Amino acid sequence: MEQSTTIVAILQSNRRETSTAVQEVLTKYGCNIRTRLGLHDVSDNYCADTGMILLQMFGDFDTTVMETELNRIHGVKMKYMVMEF
């Protein structure tokens, strides 16, 4: 039996300005998100304004629709890959 999973990477170049719009899109597709991981540099004196969100998608889902919506947000880029096993 062949299985596949889709991994999504979302790069935000200005998290403070784009986080609300990105979250709205992710909430819209929340039932199709199995795993979410947020990555950005942080320390006691610093919190990066750039970051990446990694998603593992679930179910029968057209990733290109979400990609179009996220790429419309200034400072946000999304790419994905389908891994078949």
- Distance separating the N- and C-terminal Cα atoms of the chain: 9
Pairing mode, strands 76-84 and 4-12 = antiparallel
For residues 30 and 71, what is the distance between their CA atoms, to the nearest angstrom? 18
Which residues, other chains included, contact 82 with Cβ-Cβ below 8 Å and sequence gap of 6+? 4, 5, 6, 63
What is the mean predicted confidence (pLDDT) over 21-47? Answer: 92
Query: Considering its fold, how many domains does the chain have in total?
Result: 1
Q: Which domain holds residue 12?
A: 4-84
**pTM higher than 0.85:** yes
- Report the CATH number at residue 18: 3.30.70.1150
pLDDT digits (tens, 9 = 90+) for 40-80: 888 888 888 899 999 999 887 789 999 999 999 999 999 99
Strand partners, 46: 43
